[in-house]
Amino acid sequence: MPKITLRYPLISDAARFFEILCNPNFIYFNVPISSVAEEEEYIKGCEEKRKRNFEYNYSIVYNNNLVGGCGIKIDQHRNFIGEIGYFVAEEFWGKGIATEAVKLMEKIAFKELKLKRVEILMKTENKASEKVAIKNGYVKEGIKRKAVKNRNQYFDVYLYAKIV
Protein backbone atom coordinates (compact mmCIF):
# COMPACT_ATOMS: atom_id res chain seq x y z
CA MET A 1 0.00 0.00 0.00
CA PRO A 2 1.23 3.49 -0.74
CA LYS A 3 1.86 5.76 2.22
CA ILE A 4 -0.58 8.62 1.97
CA THR A 5 -1.76 11.25 4.40
CA LEU A 6 -5.02 13.12 4.60
CA ARG A 7 -5.23 16.75 5.65
CA TYR A 8 -7.87 19.43 5.48
CA PRO A 9 -7.76 21.20 2.10
CA LEU A 10 -5.90 24.49 1.79
CA ILE A 11 -6.83 27.38 -0.48
CA SER A 12 -3.53 26.71 -2.26
CA ASP A 13 -4.91 23.26 -3.26
CA ALA A 14 -7.60 24.83 -5.46
CA ALA A 15 -5.61 25.05 -8.70
CA ARG A 16 -4.43 21.43 -8.45
CA PHE A 17 -7.94 20.17 -7.65
CA PHE A 18 -9.33 22.11 -10.60
CA GLU A 19 -6.62 20.64 -12.86
CA ILE A 20 -7.42 17.08 -11.72
CA LEU A 21 -11.17 17.47 -12.03
CA CYS A 22 -11.00 19.07 -15.50
CA ASN A 23 -9.11 16.11 -16.99
CA PRO A 24 -11.26 14.84 -19.90
CA ASN A 25 -10.41 11.24 -18.90
CA PHE A 26 -12.03 11.90 -15.54
CA ILE A 27 -15.46 10.67 -16.58
CA TYR A 28 -17.08 9.25 -13.46
CA PHE A 29 -16.96 12.19 -11.10
CA ASN A 30 -18.65 15.49 -11.87
CA VAL A 31 -18.04 18.61 -9.86
CA PRO A 32 -20.03 21.70 -10.83
CA ILE A 33 -17.06 24.04 -10.53
CA SER A 34 -15.93 26.00 -13.57
CA SER A 35 -12.92 27.96 -12.28
CA VAL A 36 -10.09 27.95 -9.78
CA ALA A 37 -11.84 30.83 -8.00
CA GLU A 38 -14.96 28.67 -7.53
CA GLU A 39 -12.79 25.84 -6.17
CA GLU A 40 -11.21 28.31 -3.73
CA GLU A 41 -14.70 29.32 -2.55
CA TYR A 42 -15.62 25.67 -2.10
CA ILE A 43 -12.51 25.08 0.03
CA LYS A 44 -13.27 28.19 2.10
CA GLY A 45 -16.64 26.63 2.97
CA CYS A 46 -15.19 23.33 4.18
CA GLU A 47 -14.62 24.41 7.77
CA GLU A 48 -18.24 25.55 8.15
CA LYS A 49 -19.44 22.23 6.70
CA ARG A 50 -17.39 20.38 9.33
CA LYS A 51 -18.78 22.58 12.12
CA ARG A 52 -22.33 21.77 10.96
CA ASN A 53 -21.53 18.02 10.75
CA PHE A 54 -22.45 18.11 7.08
CA GLU A 55 -19.26 17.20 5.24
CA TYR A 56 -15.62 16.41 6.06
CA ASN A 57 -13.26 17.04 3.14
CA TYR A 58 -9.60 16.13 2.85
CA SER A 59 -6.68 16.51 0.49
CA ILE A 60 -4.79 13.32 -0.38
CA VAL A 61 -1.02 13.73 -0.19
CA TYR A 62 1.37 11.11 -1.57
CA ASN A 63 5.17 11.60 -1.58
CA ASN A 64 4.64 15.29 -0.75
CA ASN A 65 2.39 15.70 -3.81
CA LEU A 66 -1.26 16.67 -3.77
CA VAL A 67 -2.77 13.79 -5.75
CA GLY A 68 -6.49 14.01 -5.04
CA GLY A 69 -9.28 14.67 -2.64
CA CYS A 70 -11.80 12.74 -0.60
CA GLY A 71 -14.59 13.33 1.80
CA ILE A 72 -17.38 12.03 3.97
CA LYS A 73 -20.87 13.48 3.60
CA ILE A 74 -23.20 12.96 6.54
CA ASP A 75 -26.79 12.03 5.75
CA GLN A 76 -28.71 14.95 7.21
CA HIS A 77 -31.82 12.86 7.90
CA ARG A 78 -29.93 9.86 9.35
CA ASN A 79 -26.81 11.38 10.88
CA PHE A 80 -25.37 7.95 11.71
CA ILE A 81 -24.77 7.30 7.98
CA GLY A 82 -21.97 8.75 5.88
CA GLU A 83 -21.08 8.55 2.21
CA ILE A 84 -17.44 8.40 1.16
CA GLY A 85 -16.27 9.93 -2.09
CA TYR A 86 -12.80 10.33 -3.60
CA PHE A 87 -10.86 11.35 -6.68
CA VAL A 88 -7.23 10.82 -7.68
CA ALA A 89 -5.17 12.46 -10.44
CA GLU A 90 -4.81 10.26 -13.52
CA GLU A 91 -1.04 9.95 -13.26
CA PHE A 92 -1.57 8.23 -9.88
CA TRP A 93 -4.34 5.82 -10.93
CA GLY A 94 -3.71 2.15 -10.20
CA LYS A 95 -1.33 2.73 -7.29
CA GLY A 96 -3.76 1.90 -4.49
CA ILE A 97 -4.10 5.53 -3.39
CA ALA A 98 -7.92 5.59 -3.43
CA THR A 99 -8.01 2.27 -1.58
CA GLU A 100 -5.76 3.65 1.14
CA ALA A 101 -7.72 6.93 1.30
CA VAL A 102 -10.95 4.98 1.89
CA LYS A 103 -9.26 3.04 4.72
CA LEU A 104 -8.21 6.27 6.39
CA MET A 105 -11.61 7.93 5.92
CA GLU A 106 -13.35 4.85 7.26
CA LYS A 107 -11.35 5.16 10.50
CA ILE A 108 -12.45 8.79 10.76
CA ALA A 109 -16.05 7.86 9.99
CA PHE A 110 -16.38 5.06 12.52
CA LYS A 111 -13.98 6.13 15.29
CA GLU A 112 -14.11 9.93 15.29
CA LEU A 113 -17.54 10.67 13.81
CA LYS A 114 -19.15 7.61 15.45
CA LEU A 115 -21.04 6.65 12.29
CA LYS A 116 -22.72 3.24 12.17
CA ARG A 117 -22.87 2.88 8.38
CA VAL A 118 -20.63 4.10 5.57
CA GLU A 119 -21.67 3.98 1.92
CA ILE A 120 -19.82 4.30 -1.36
CA LEU A 121 -21.80 5.03 -4.51
CA MET A 122 -20.29 4.64 -7.96
CA LYS A 123 -21.58 4.65 -11.51
CA THR A 124 -22.21 1.08 -12.62
CA GLU A 125 -19.51 1.31 -15.30
CA ASN A 126 -16.83 2.57 -12.87
CA LYS A 127 -14.94 -0.70 -12.34
CA ALA A 128 -11.94 0.98 -10.65
CA SER A 129 -14.12 2.48 -7.93
CA GLU A 130 -15.91 -0.83 -7.49
CA LYS A 131 -12.52 -2.50 -6.90
CA VAL A 132 -11.70 0.09 -4.23
CA ALA A 133 -14.93 -0.73 -2.38
CA ILE A 134 -14.37 -4.48 -2.62
CA LYS A 135 -10.72 -4.25 -1.48
CA ASN A 136 -11.90 -2.36 1.59
CA GLY A 137 -14.51 -4.98 2.49
CA TYR A 138 -17.63 -3.09 1.47
CA VAL A 139 -20.67 -5.18 0.57
CA LYS A 140 -22.60 -4.58 -2.63
CA GLU A 141 -26.20 -3.95 -1.63
CA GLY A 142 -27.63 -3.27 -5.07
CA ILE A 143 -28.29 -0.65 -7.70
CA LYS A 144 -29.86 2.72 -6.99
CA ARG A 145 -31.69 3.71 -10.17
CA LYS A 146 -31.19 7.26 -11.45
CA ALA A 147 -29.58 8.23 -8.14
CA VAL A 148 -26.81 10.51 -9.46
CA LYS A 149 -27.28 13.58 -11.60
CA ASN A 150 -24.40 14.58 -13.87
CA ARG A 151 -24.76 17.36 -16.46
CA ASN A 152 -28.58 17.10 -16.51
CA GLN A 153 -28.55 13.32 -16.94
CA TYR A 154 -29.45 10.78 -14.28
CA PHE A 155 -27.37 7.65 -13.77
CA ASP A 156 -27.73 4.34 -11.99
CA VAL A 157 -25.14 3.66 -9.30
CA TYR A 158 -24.00 0.68 -7.32
CA LEU A 159 -24.44 0.97 -3.58
CA TYR A 160 -21.69 -0.53 -1.45
CA ALA A 161 -21.79 -0.27 2.33
CA LYS A 162 -20.00 -1.25 5.52
CA ILE A 163 -21.49 -1.23 9.00
CA VAL A 164 -20.14 -1.47 12.54
Tell me the mean pLDDT in the region 48-56.
97
11 within a domain of the structure (yes/no)? yes
Domain count, the chain: 1
57 within a domain of the structure (yes/no)? yes
Does pLDDT of 157 surpass 70? yes
140 within a domain of the structure (yes/no)? no
79 within a domain of the structure (yes/no)? yes
pLDDT > 90 fraction of the chain, expressed in percent and rounded: 86
Kindly report the pTM of this predicted structure: 0.93
Does pLDDT of 28 surpass 80? no
Predicted confidence at residue 1, as pLDDT, reads 63
Q: For every residue of the chain, which 3-state class applies, written as one string? A: CCCEEEECCCHHHHHHHHHHHCCCCCCCCCCCCCCHHHHHHHHHCHHHHHHCCCEEEEEEEECCEEEEEEEEEECCCCCCEEEEEEEECHHHCCCCHHHHHHHHHHHHHHHHCCCCEEEEEEECCCHHHHHHHHHCCCEEEEEEEEEEEECCEEEEEEEEEEEC
Does pLDDT of 29 surpass 90? no
125 within a domain of the structure (yes/no)? no
- Per residue in 98-107, pLDDT tens? 999 999 999 9
Predicted confidence at residue 117, as pLDDT, reads 98
- Per residue in 135-149, pLDDT tens? 999 999 999 999 988
Predicted confidence at residue 24, as pLDDT, reads 86
Chain mean pLDDT for the chain = 94
Does pLDDT of 30 surpass 80? no
161 within a domain of the structure (yes/no)? no
Residue 92 belongs to what domain range? 4-119
27 within a domain of the structure (yes/no)? yes
146 within a domain of the structure (yes/no)? no
**Which CATH number fits the domain that encloses residue 89?**
3.40.630.30
